[in-house]
Amino acid sequence: MPAKGENTTDPNCEVRFGGVGGQGIVLAGRLLGKAAALYDGKDAVCTQSYGPEARGGASRSDVVIADEQVDYPFVSRADILAVFFQEAYVLFRDCLKPDGLLIVDTGLVQPFDDDPNLRGIPATEIAESLGSRMAANVVTLGYLVGLTGVVSEESVVKAIQSTLKARIVAMNLKAFDAGLQRAREDSSQ
């Protein structure tokens, strides 16, 4: 069953990545924001808030993408939530819109039974199979983009090429492709 949040044509999109330090969620947000704004011609704002919940360990990285200028960059009700850490999942799942898309790394997050529109991907496992556990964020980004089309694939490729150090570009392009491929497989089921 495809999630209602998929293949949306809504010009505004609020995306939250939730995890813990070191998982590269800020980078995932930046790549998405740059893809949207620098290469898809939209406007995007990436935000990292360090409030009380950050002191508890969970961290978040928010991206708001709009056709026009983003005037309120906080994600209040997410269209897409991708989480890599159980505590972040518990903390942030209520911010998802009723028809929003929830993506979890199935190796790291044990979702509740009643979450609608849930999609799981073993992102860390896939990244490890490609040679770098660190690329789980980009695997998930590929999955997210493949499911939703919120930004174009080509723009993410450009964002990866222009943002990451040269020596890790190839690995991350593979990770992105692996996520896209998994989305195609899941969508054709």
Residues that bind its own copies (CB under 8 A): 21, 26, 30, 33-34, 36-38, 43-51, 54-55, 69-70, 73-74, 162-163
Q: How far is CA 113 from the centre of its chain?
A: 22
In order, the DSSP letters of 7-31 are T---S-EEEEEEEETTS-HHHHHHH
Strand order across the beta sheet in which 58-66 lies: 58-66, 13-20, 78-83, 96-105, 118-121
| Closer of 46 and 83 to its own copies (Cβ) | 46
CA distance 25 to 92: 14
| Closer of 2 and 21 to its own copies (Cβ) | 21
Nearest Cα neighbor of 180 from 154, 143, 152 is 143
Query: Minimum CB separation from its own copies for residue 130, in Å?
Result: 19
Query: Minimum CB separation from its own copies for residue 33, in Å?
Result: 5
| Closer of 47 and 181 to its own copies (Cβ) | 47
| Closer of 53 and 125 to its own copies (Cβ) | 53
Query: Minimum CB separation from its own copies for residue 41, in Å?
Result: 9
Query: Minimum CB separation from its own copies for residue 24, in Å?
Result: 11
| Closer of 78 and 121 to its own copies (Cβ) | 78
In order, the DSSP letters of 74-111 are S-SSEEEEEE-SHHHHHHHGGGEEEEEEEEEETTT---
CA distance 82 to 24: 12
| Closer of 4 and 133 to its own copies (Cβ) | 133
Query: Minimum CB separation from its own copies for residue 30, in Å?
Result: 7
What are the C-alpha distances in Å from 101 to residues 32, 67, 87, 134, 167? 16, 20, 18, 23, 33
Query: Minimum CB separation from its own copies for residue 12, in Å?
Result: 15
